[in-house]
A and B are shown apart, each in its own frame.
Chain A
């Protein structure tokens, strides 16, 4: 395999994410300050390699790389790590980089390890209409937001447990404050649900134009995930679901959403072959 091939590049990105995570983890276990620059260089390095790998994949396939489970997982990892860079700067959330590196590594590693997921013959469901591509990209981006929401919720749960159990280790004291995490979680679920709602609306319009293009199971799963997040947001806004229970719900929901990606992409792969969108030309095919 040549280095500049997409899998080698995404694989290198995965190694960098893994190194960043391991480096920070060792520092945390040994109760030493990790050199932030080294950690950040590894994480950014991973992001650059992964971006390049996905770009090469897009060039090869002439479509946005969301045609099989491997690509979906890769793009999801890429979105969440990319979002992490923005959120980290905006909200000064300590340890978010660390959690993102673990998440990025985990997702990339699984997608690379399960070889059948990267099925080159899988027909793309992203048809000639750019709206379908936009719908898919928006949906996966909202999943990226939900991934970060799951990470910040996980941080909330760790902080809450540590405070309740009076754990004062270096690792727990580095987590952001409960109130800060609660605030960012509300923002993230609002953004994620908004994006997914737009994606669902576009998908619904596409469905009206081409009825039968999407199977009932895929449609049901997609709608269930959207409704579940929407319900969680409404309950949170009405103060019916707060604090630890809200954080737990966000984590569980994301696990469900992540697992649902496999049948979603699997069903996509089984769908009839369509022509991809040429992202490099103005008119497409």
Chain B
């Protein structure tokens, strides 16, 4: 079957679905190699139109060709670029043509084929790849329509389904929780206990949503300072913890202490003093930094790693439930576009 004038639309790719991280690293094309490949394909008149999408999770070559058997020469070309035998390459790639290729492009643009279902980053990457290919005049009538329609499909999926809704990373979930308690994060006082990785990422997420007043509390003040510098925050030691908690809106536990640092006995008199200001406590440490008993205190909202993981799983499941609805619509759209192309 052909798109028009005997031309076939195809996609050859490798993604997280077919290749491990190590293989994807080897298959990655930097911009100069992608450009070189596109030029070679065009110069050899193997393709009439071409677009190369290269992200951390996928490498895909979309094209329009007159050659019915382009897969093998393309594989040979890739094999030469990456220095991988064709037999090995073949086990990590997928090849789709015509309507199936259109459907795949729509699913990629909508984030349905992403490792983190519903993520938005891929749409930006695809738009960028399209803009680049279009500027270089690598795209033509068929690919222009396919990708313009794929952006429309992505917009529909994001607007009309819940595939992009609900946070699925610990940092973003913590940020959303903090927003639901504190509202605007600009005036929010964040206290990070320790320099653990999850705590650091959570603080980064809060900072990216506007939190400016960040204090890193640590035993090793050098390490605390180097972390605080990332957020242009301040540094303090654990002796000042009661005073810091009296003014904190968000406290994040990320130490490797064997016993809880924030206990009910410590927090109760502080909360009695502050009364009207809610406190959100996010414990990313194992063993826990924040005693579970503090949850019973008025105006305190506590979340530990289990809670955050549970929320992430629920959101992910909710997204996956929406995938079917999105895929049905995409299938219809792909069919309509395919029919209009030939």
Q: Is the CB of B183 within 8 A of A180?
A: yes
A187 at the interface (CB under 8 A from B): no
A88 at the interface (CB under 8 A from B): no
A116 at the interface (CB under 8 A from B): no
Q: Is the CB of A182 within 8 A of B160?
A: no
Number of interface residues of A (CB under 8 A): 22
Interface centre among A31, A33, A245 (most CB of B within 10 A): A31
A244 at the interface (CB under 8 A from B): yes
Q: Is the CB of A182 within 8 A of B276?
A: yes
Q: Is the CB of A178 within 8 A of B310?
A: no
Complex: chain B residue closest to A92, CB-CB: B183
Q: Is the CB of A176 within 8 A of B314?
A: no
A3 at the interface (CB under 8 A from B): no
Q: Is the CB of B166 within 8 A of A168?
A: yes
Answer whether A170 and B162 are a contact pair too, CB < 8 Å, given A163-B301, A243-B298: yes
A residues sitting closer than 8 Å to B (CB atoms) are 31-33, 159, 163-164, 166, 168, 170, 173, 175-180, 182, 239, 242-245
Residues in A with CB closer than 8 Å to B303 are 166
B residues sitting closer than 8 Å to A (CB atoms) are 159-160, 162, 165-166, 173, 176-177, 179-183, 275-278, 295, 298-299, 301, 303, 307, 310-311, 314-315, 318
Q: Is the CB of B301 within 8 A of A173?
A: no
Q: Is the CB of A163 within 8 A of B180?
A: yes
Residues in B with CB closer than 8 Å to A168 are 166, 173, 176, 311, 314-315
Q: Is the CB of A166 within 8 A of B278?
A: no
B257 to chain A, nearest CB (A): 25
Residues in A with CB closer than 8 Å to B180 are 159, 163, 173, 175, 177-178
Q: Is the CB of B183 within 8 A of A176?
A: yes
B78 to chain A, nearest CB (A): 42
Answer whether A163 and B298 are a contact pair too, CB < 8 Å, given A33-B159, A239-B275: no
Residues in B with CB closer than 8 Å to A177 are 179-183
Residues in B with CB closer than 8 Å to A239 are 275-276
Interface centre among B159, B278, B315 (most CB of A within 10 A): B278
Residues in B with CB closer than 8 Å to A178 are 180-182, 278
Give 19 pairs: A residue, B residue, CB < 8 Å, sorted on A: A31-B318, A159-B180, A163-B180, A166-B307, A166-B310, A168-B315, A176-B183, A177-B180, A177-B182, A177-B183, A178-B181, A178-B278, A179-B183, A179-B277, A179-B278, A180-B183, A182-B278, A242-B275, A243-B278
Q: Is the CB of A163 within 8 A of B181?
A: yes
Q: Report the Cα distance A85→B253, complex, angstroms.
A: 41
Q: Besides A170-B162, A173-B176, A242-B298, 5 other CB < 8 A contacts?
A: A164-B295, A168-B173, A168-B311, A168-B315, A179-B278
Majority secondary structure of chain B interface residues (helix, strand, loop or mixed): helix
Q: Is the CB of B177 within 8 A of A163?
A: yes
Answer whether A166 and B275 are a contact pair too, CB < 8 Å, given A177-B181, A242-B299: no
Q: Is the CB of B179 within 8 A of A243?
A: no
A158 to chain B, nearest CB (A): 11
A179 to chain B, nearest CB (A): 5
Residues in B with CB closer than 8 Å to A180 are 183
Complex: chain B residue closest to A168, CB-CB: B311
Residues in A with CB closer than 8 Å to B165 are 31, 170
Q: Report the Cα distance A164→B314, complex, angstroms.
A: 16
Residues in B with CB closer than 8 Å to A173 are 166, 176, 180
Residues in B with CB closer than 8 Å to A159 are 180
Q: Is the CB of B182 within 8 A of A166?
A: no
Q: Report the Cα distance A31→B303, complex, angstroms.
A: 25
A234 to chain B, nearest CB (A): 15
Q: Is the CB of A31 within 8 A of B162?
A: yes
Q: Which residue of B301, B310, B311 is within 8 Å of A164 (Cβ)?
A: B301
Q: Report the Cα distance A109→B162, complex, angstroms.
A: 34
Q: Closest 4 A-B residue pairs measured CB to CB?
A: A177-B183, A239-B275, A180-B183, A243-B299
Interface centre among A179, A242, A243 (most CB of B within 10 A): A179
Residues in B with CB closer than 8 Å to A245 are 298
Q: Is the CB of A32 within 8 A of B301?
A: no
Q: Report the Cα distance A245→B275, complex, angstroms.
A: 12
Residues in B with CB closer than 8 Å to A176 are 183
Complex: chain A residue closest to B272, CB-CB: A239
Q: Report the Cα distance A163→B165, complex, angstroms.
A: 18
Complex: chain B residue closest to A238, CB-CB: B275
B270 to chain A, nearest CB (A): 14
Complex: chain A residue closest to B311, CB-CB: A168
Q: Report the Cα distance A244→B300, complex, angstroms.
A: 11
Residues in A with CB closer than 8 Å to B277 are 179
Q: Report the Cα distance A177→B180, complex, angstroms.
A: 4
Q: Is the CB of B176 within 8 A of A32?
A: no
Complex: chain A residue closest to B176, CB-CB: A173
Q: Report the Cα distance A237→B318, complex, angstroms.
A: 42
Q: Report the Cα distance A180→B159, complex, angstroms.
A: 27
Complex: chain B residue closest to A236, CB-CB: B276
A92 to chain B, nearest CB (A): 10
A31 to chain B, nearest CB (A): 5
A249 to chain B, nearest CB (A): 14
Q: Report the Cα distance A176→B183, complex, angstroms.
A: 7
Q: Report the Cα distance A163→B280, complex, angstroms.
A: 10
Q: Is the CB of B311 within 8 A of A166?
A: yes
A176 to chain B, nearest CB (A): 7
Q: Is the CB of B160 within 8 A of A244?
A: no
Q: Report the Cα distance A276→B110, complex, angstroms.
A: 66
